A and B are shown apart, each in its own frame.
Chain A
Amino acid sequence: MSGKSLFQKIWDDHIVVPETADTPAVLYIDLHLTHEVTSPQAFSVLRSKGLKLRRPDLTLATLDHSTPTVPIASLKDLDIVAEPAAAAQIRMMIENCREFGIELFGFDSDARGIVHVIGPELGITQPGKTIVCGDSHTSTHGAFGTLAFGIGTTEVGHVMAAQCLLQRRPKTLAINVDGKIGLGVTAKDIILAIIGRIGVGGGTGHVIEYRGSAIRRLGMEQRMTVCNMSIEGGARSGMIAPDDTTIEYLRNRPMAPKGSAWDTAVARWRRLPSDPDATFDREVTLDANLLTPMVTFGTNPGMVVPIGDPVPTATDASFRKALEYMRVVENKPMLGMPVDVVFIGSCTNSRLSDLREAASVMRGRKVAKSVRMLVVPGSEQVKRAAEAEGLHEVFTAAGAEWREAGCSMCIGMNGDLTASGQLCVSTSNRNFEGRQGIGARTVLASPLTAAASAVAGRIADPRPLIAH
C-alpha cells in the first residue's frame, strides 16, 4: 500500500461517517469563516427551523465584500457611503452575528479585513484543519496545509447547524514547480502560468497539492497567492505542505496555540506532509526557471500569456468573443496596451509583501496622468503595517488612492468600479466579463506588473524598473 498524501491525511482525520457507494461522507469542519454576502439566507434557514449554531467557537465573521473602502467611523457613515442594499446587508450581518453568538471582526475591530487575509493573520488558519467559507477563494488557506474550500449558501447553513458537510472524496492533482523564478517574477506569475497550462476547468473534481523547490522557496504570503487561485483552475482546493516557513509564520499569532499546546501542535503539523511514496490521480510539472511575468488577455484566467508574447490566434467563437470584448488583437503582445485603471488589492495580492513589491516600483515615480490607481490593503492590520513603513506615502505621493481594507474592485460590490470600456490592470483573481464593472476590461497581473503599468500608463514589464 502506498503512503498517504497531505490531502488524504486531513480527509481521514475528519471523517465522522465514512462515504459509501450510496452516501457521501460526513466531514467535520474545524473552522467556518463567514461574511455578509453569502450568509443571510443561511441564517434565515436556521431561524425558520429553530436551529442554533452548533459551534460558534469555530466560526468567525467579518465584513469585506459589499463593504465600502472609505473610512467608516460609525454605522451612520455606512448609510451615507454605501448603496442602501449593501448597507442593509452589512447591518443584517452585524445583527445575525449578535443573535447567533458569532465573533464578528466588524468596523469596530482593528482586525477587520478580507476573510482570507485575516484568518492567517490571526493565526486561526492552522495546518491540518478543514476550513470552509461561502467564498470560492477559501482555497487560499490551503497554503498552510489545510483542506480549505468554498461552499454555497445552503452548505453555509449545514456547517452552521451541524459543523459538518456531506462530501465525496475528490481526486488529487500534484502540481510540481521546480527551479528558481527570476527577478521580477512572482507567485502570481507562477499560478497564472499553472492555470494557463491546465485551463480553467483543468482542476475540476480535484484537490491540488503544489509541490517542488520553487514552491518550497516561497514565503507564506506568496503561497497564499498560489493557493488562492486554485479555483480559477477549477479545483475547489489547493494546498501546500506545512514546513518551517509555515510554523515560523504562525508562531506568536494571536489565535495560534501557546506554550505546550504549541509544541504539541507543531509535532502534529510535522506529520502532515505527503509521504514520499504517496500517489496522486494526476501530476503536472512546470519549470520555474522558464517563467516570466504573466498577463491575461481574455475573459477567464486561463487566457494568459508571458508578458512579451503575442496573444494566441483565435481558435473558436468563444475565444474570438473574448478578444473582441477585451479589444485585444491576436498575434500581438499585450505589452504597451493603454491602461485606464490599476487596482492593487484582493485576497490574491493585498498583503504586506504585495504592497511592498508595488511600492518598490512606485517609489520616486508617478502614476501616469491617464491612470487611476487604487491601492486597497487586505486588512486593517496590513494597512497599519504598511503605514508604519511609510508605504502609503509612496503610493499617495505617486498619485494613487490609499483605501480601507476590503474586497473592493475585485468584485465591485461596494462602489469601487472600473467604467465600461476602461482597461484595468488588476492584481485580483478574475478577469471575467463585467467582473470589475459592466463593460470593464480586466488584465490580471502581479503587483509588480500592475505598478509598472501604472507608471507607464501602458501594460509594462516590471523587470527593467527593478534594481538588480
Chain B
Amino acid sequence: MDKVNLVQSRTLVLPQSDIDTDQIIPARFLTTTTRKGLGNALFADWRYDSAGKPKPEFLLNRPEANGCGILVAGNNFGCGSSREHAPWALLDFGIQAVISTEIADIFRGNSLKNGLIPVIVDKATHGWLIENPGADVTVDVAACELRLPEGRTVAFPIDGFSRYCLLNGVDQLGYLLNHSDAITRFEGTRSWQP
C-alpha cells in the first residue's frame, strides 16, 4: 500500500443515504480476477444508460468531477456486500477519501486496507458539505482533521493502528505475520482444536 496522508481536493457530493456497495460496483463486474481497472465500473448503473453511454447529468460524468479526490456521500455509506471491489473501484476512479456521517463496518475496513480514507463527521459538518458541493477541503490523516474553507477544522476518528498504517504505507499482512510465533504457540496450547 502507498503512503497516504494529505488529500486536498474539491468535493463530489452524492447526497443519497444508504448507498450500498451494489451501487458502488454492481455484481456483474465481480467476475474479474484482478483488482485493476474497476474505475470504469464505479456507480455503473447510475452512470451509464442501457446502451452503455455516460448519462451527462450524473455527477461523475460532469466536467467538474475531473480531478476530484474526495466523495461526500449521504448517511451510512458502503452498506451491504463485503466486496472489496468497492474501494478498488473508488480508488481506481481517483477517489482517495469518502466523507459521511456513518460508514459501514466491512466497507470501512476494506477501505483502510487499500489506502482509501473513511472520514466520519458530525451532522452539522455533513450538512454543510452536502449543501456546498465542490468545496475545497483537505483530509489530513496525520492530524485526524478535515479542513474546510475559511480555516474551519473538524476532527475525525481514526484508530491509531489504521492511521499508522496509512501514514507509513504498512502492509497489514506483514504485521500479522510478525506474530507467527505467537500464533503457533496459540495453536499448540489452546484447550480444544477446531
| Chain A residues in the interface with B (C-beta under 8 A) | 13, 16-17, 21-24, 26, 28, 30-31, 37-38, 40-41, 44-45, 49, 54, 58, 65-66, 83, 85-86, 88-89, 92, 126, 128-129, 134-136, 150-155, 157-158, 161-166, 168, 170, 200-201, 204-205, 231-232, 234, 236, 264-265, 268, 300, 302, 316-318, 321, 411-413, 420, 430, 432-435, 438
Contacts and interface: CB of A to CB of B under 8 A. Distances in A.
Interface in B162-194: 164, 172-173, 175-177, 179-180, 182-183, 186-187, 190, 192, 194
Nearest to B102: A201
Contacts of A432: 20, 22-23, 80
Contacts of B182: 16-17, 26
B186 A24 contact: no
8 shortest interchain CB distances as A-B pairs: A30-B194, A152-B110, A152-B84, A85-B31, A40-B33, A201-B76, A150-B82, A136-B82
Contact of A321 (B16, B104, B176): B16
Given A162-B183, A420-B50, 11 more contacts: A16-B179, A24-B159, A41-B35, A49-B173, A155-B109, A161-B176, A201-B18, A264-B192, A318-B15, A432-B23, A438-B26
A170 B109 CA distance: 13
B179 A26 contact: yes
Contacts of A17: 179, 182
B18 A300 contact: yes
B40 interface: no
B79 interface: yes
Contacts of A433: 22-23, 45
Contact of B176 (A26, A45, A151): A26
A201 B104 contact: yes
Nearest to A55: B187
Contacts of A28: 183, 186-187, 190
B68 interface: no
B173 A234 contact: no
A162 B177 contact: yes
Nearest to A57: B194
A23 B162 CA distance: 9
B17 interface: yes
B194 A58 contact: yes
Given A16-B179, A158-B173, A204-B76, A151 B82 contact: yes
Interface string B93-109: 00000000010111001
A349 B180 CA distance: 40
B84 A153 contact: yes
B176 A434 contact: no
Contacts of B175: 166
A265 to B, nearest CB: 8
B11 interface: no
B53 interface: no
B141 to A, nearest CB: 16
Contacts of B105: 170, 204-205, 234, 236
Interface string B53-72: 00000000000000000000
Interface residues of B, number: 53
Interface string B6-39: 0000000001111010110011101111110000
Nearest to B193: A30
A412 B28 contact: yes
Contacts of B76: 200-201, 204, 234
A168 B35 CA distance: 26
A136 B179 contact: no
Given A37-B30, A317-B16, A300 B176 contact: no
Contacts of B164: 22
B75 interface: yes
Contacts of B31: 37, 66, 83, 85-86, 88-89, 413
B114 interface: yes
B45 A438 contact: yes
Contacts of A30: 194
A38 B50 contact: no
24 contacts: A17-B182, A21-B160, A26-B182, A28-B187, A89-B31, A89-B33, A92-B33, A151-B106, A152-B82, A152-B83, A158-B172, A162-B177, A166-B161, A166-B175, A166-B176, A200-B76, A300-B79, A318-B17, A318-B18, A412-B27, A430-B22, A433-B23, A433-B45, A438-B50
A259 to B, nearest CB: 15
B153 interface: no
Contact of B106 (A86, A150, A434): A150
Contacts of A166: 161, 172, 175-176
A154 B161 contact: no
Contact of B104 (A31, A54, A234, A264): A234
B171 to A, nearest CB: 9
A201 B18 CA distance: 8
A154 B1 CA distance: 11
B82 A164 contact: no
A152 B113 contact: yes
Contacts of A13: 190
A153 B111 CA distance: 11
Contacts of A300: 18, 20, 79
